[in-house]
Chains A and B, each alone.
Chain A
Amino acid sequence: KAGVTQTPRYLIKTRGQQVTLSCSPISGHRSVSWYQQTPGQGLQFLFEYFSETQRNKGNFPGRFSGRQFSNSRSEMNVSTLELGDSALYLCASSLLYEQYFGPGTRLTVT
């Protein structure tokens, strides 16, 4: 079975721009979660989608949003990028409790 894929793997953006990241879960997994990972803050939960609905949400500003499509693929969007948004963004898919992570998208904001 193919693993979780994330595109793009690397991205460089300028402050004020917006960005969209994509995640394709393992076939059959209906839950997709997004995390932001930085050296200073560690692994922080952004949100989780299940069957096209946001089921859980972390403590991030409204600039961070996401959606899930009927095939369970998910996208997250960050608007009005700030320097502090530079991070590794991880997507994880799940059937129930354990999560399977993608390789991440490294976002650099300049």
Chain B
Amino acid sequence: AQSVTQPDIHITVSEGASLELRCNYSYGATPYLFWYVQSPGQGLQLLLKYFSGDTLVQGIKGFEAEFKRSQSSFNLRKPSVHWSDAAEYFCAVVPRNTNAGKSTFGDGTTLTVKP
């Protein structure tokens, strides 16, 4: 069955430390891949997306993600975390040649930033 897995429910990092959030998917063909961020009580904001081409994609707020076909992964990274990055992060996929209504979201990873 098609699925998206974010193995880490909760991650705590110190401010200034690097961050990596994991996302794995299980689909027949590589889907379109997305990362979203949600601050408490707010909607989700698109951080970055991967459709094809360069496997390292840059997003907003200093985030980047790397697509690895062999591992069916799309991990989100940031070299130096700021206190304002504390939020919940969602990985999402859309099967190729479908539409946004076919989106599947992971369960989310909550990021806590220690001062």
**Chain A contacts to B: CB under 8 angstroms:** 4, 31, 33, 42-43, 45, 48, 50, 55-56, 88, 90, 92, 94, 96-104, 106
Contact = CB atoms under 8 A, between A and B. Distances in A.
Interface in B62-115: 90, 92, 94, 99-103, 105, 107-108
A102 B43 contact: yes
B100 A90 contact: no
B46 interface: yes
A43 B46 CA distance: 15
Question: Which residue, of B32, B46, B101, B108, has the highest number of chain A Cβ atoms within 10 A?
Answer: B101
Given A90-B44, A101-B43, A104-B42, A43 B101 contact: no
Contacts of A55: 99, 101
Contacts of B102: 56
B25 interface: no
Contacts, number: 64
B18 interface: no
Contacts of B51: 97
Nearest to B104: A45
Contact of B46 (A88, A90, A96, A100): A100
A97 B32 contact: yes
A33 B46 contact: no
Nearest to B48: A98
Which 5 A-B pairs give the minimum distances between C-beta atoms? A48-B101, A101-B43, A56-B101, A94-B100, A101-B44
A5 to B, nearest CB: 10
A98 B43 contact: no
Nearest to A99: B100
A97 B44 contact: no
